[in-house]
Amino acid sequence: MTSYSDVCHWKLVPEYGVSTPWDFSLRYKMIVGIPEGGGVGESAVEVAENEFSLLKDSSYSLFGEIVSEGERGNIDQSYYFYGVAEGDLNVTRYVFVGRVKSTAYQIVFDDRNVGNNGEMVPLSAFQNEIDKINSRMAIDLGVWVPD
């Protein structure tokens, strides 16, 4: 089996009105091929399921306080976290962990804006952006990643 992975960072200007773009990072691992030994061992999907679990478990440490968490999305596996970033009470953080076929990924949005009276950016603002990204991820990974 072969795996491909990367971590990418961007700035995102969300539909939600903010004065400073969000920090946006994407970490992914794609598993392709069949197990060594002609099919004996874990499948690519099983390896990606394990990677999903590792990404999900490691996401807890990114928060000082988690306000909300749960499943989300129309993909094979998904989980989100929403709250205050570890080490910076002025950062509202949203982390999404997903899996489509044999690809597991983690998306982190950080809003560094101090809202009205120090309020957090609403969960719905992050979910609006993640829904758009996941819609595209489901289509692209569904087409390009082998079964």
Q: How far is CA 89 from CA 33, 74, 85, 127, in A?
A: 43, 31, 6, 21
Residue among 109, 100, 88, 96 at smallest CA distance from 140: 100
Beta bridge partners of 3: 31
* Predicted local confidence at residue 37, as pLDDT: 59
| Structure confidence at residue 36 (pLDDT) | 65
Number of Cα atoms under 13 Å in the Cβ half of residue 4: 6
Q: Give the pLDDT of residue 124.
A: 94
Model pLDDT, residue 112: 84
Which residue carries 């988690």 as its tokens?
A: 66
- The pLDDT, as a whole number, for residue 146 is 78
Block means of pLDDT (10 residues each) for the chain, 147 residues, are 93 84 95 70 89 98 97 91 93 96 97 71 93 91 84
**Can you list the alpha helix ranges (DSSP code H) found in the chain?**
44-59, 123-144
